[in-house]
Structure 1
Amino acid sequence: MRRKTPGEAAWLAERYPSTPNAELLEAFRAEFGWAPSAASLASWAHDRGIRKDDAHIDWRGHPEYDEFLRAAIPGRTEREIADAFDAEFGIRPTRSRVKNAKARLGVRSGTAGGRFEKGHAPANKGRTWDEMGIPEESRERMRATQFKRGGLPWDTLPVGAERVTKDGYIEVHVAQHRREKANDQWVMKHRLVWKEANGRRLRPGEVVLFADGDKSNLDPENLVAVTQAENIGLYRIGRPYADRETLMGALEIVRLNAAISKAEMRPRRCCACGEEFRPRFKRQRRCDRCLGRG
């Protein structure tokens, strides 16, 4: 970074507090034949404790500033707000000051900011290359890089390609474009293998488990479909399994526990009044009405 001479530093120090950086750098270049970058200028001023004039103003002591901003903010960009404030009071607030004022006052500009507004028409809409004056050599370069109708990105994998997810599952590429919903071009391979081996799709709520715990073993005998409730039950009993036989044994325990729980909550007759009721807990022997009587 070029070091500033004492004369250049004094020139900057005098004008920095009251001049926007863009105008200051342009004037500096016209005066000295070169100019530092905006970041270098800000760093230079910070190191020397030189601040913009608006940083020293007690905004809370000037209610007229807030009144003006409430009227000036709607429909204007931050730069336009700063211009209007400068024209009214002779002080140009920084962009951060304007943003803080908008948040503090709860007033929004209602503009699109740096985005295109809804309904914006591109500048080249409906215009041909001839109308835009594009030379032939430029057209050739544009044709070479244009995305053709029906084209695919260069890194698109062919149908049938496989990949391994971060969780260790193998996925198969089954389509180049979305089929029924987004991101359904890839399907878990073990689900496809199970479907082909059993001649049906998995029902809603069903998942496929690997009997030996190896996600790369896609032998149909190693794939067992269970409901999500059964899968949760396997976690709850904490019974390990290492092959299909031990997995099916653990599933029998889960299903037995589910059947017992269902039987324990079946309707029964109250031991006090004899009426049938549906219990709220397993050991409930009296209906709620009799329980309320004590």
Structure 2
Amino acid sequence: MKSPLPRYTAEELAWIEANCKMSRAELARQFAKKFDRDSATEDQMKSLCSRKGWAAGPEAKRRNSGKSLIFTAAQVKWIKDNRHLSQTVVHQEFAKSFPGTSITAAQIVSYRKRNKILTGRLGRFVKGDAPWSKGRKIGSSPNSKKTQFKPGQQPKNTLPFGTERVRHDGYIEIKVDRENPYTGGRGWYVAKHKHLWELVNGPIPKGHILKSCDGDRSNCDPSNWMAIPRSLAARLTGKSGRDYDNAPAELKPTILAIARLEQAARDRT
């Protein structure tokens, strides 16, 4: 459990604000001596000055002097005059203008951020900007062409039409000669039972789905599937208490008939 923050009197707060130019350690020592507070710590002074917005230590010297403790006036002027330079270039040019300096690239970047010396770039394309490749023919190197796909070439792992796979829910999918809407290539996996049923009966009526007559999703024979209203499907699931798919074969027609009657009564109301 954290200890509660110390309480300061108005006189103590006024003294700390007036003497916040000291380092935090010296501020804590002088405060404890003046107000007889043996428990005053450097962290407490730091926390208080931060909450109140009072500069302390080196930061106080910088704010009160209005000058940077790292950069000279000439260097500050140079940084402002060359604000358009990117972060990767500004240090290189700075070192050329001030040879022998120990200033690092990170210090320049930090100074520009603290003082809001912006380059003017937004970091995104602006309407009317010309791309760097405008008017240039961009090609690939001869070496990269060796491994590029040729027109009509298929990957080695391409599977033929008619390939089947089993989905996680037990339905079988089959690869048919249809355009892939995502890649534009030939080959698309569809539900096998739906594909075979539509070949025999045409498109599924609107608002209907296919239901397996024997409850076996892997039996894709068109005669094993019937088109039922989507609203009827909920009355045949396990949650309805009937569980049509796992019911005995002799009870399936009765379960289906009861579900149809209930749905018809519901539609009338």
Q: TM-score, normalised by structure 1?
A: 0.44
Larger radius of gyration: 2
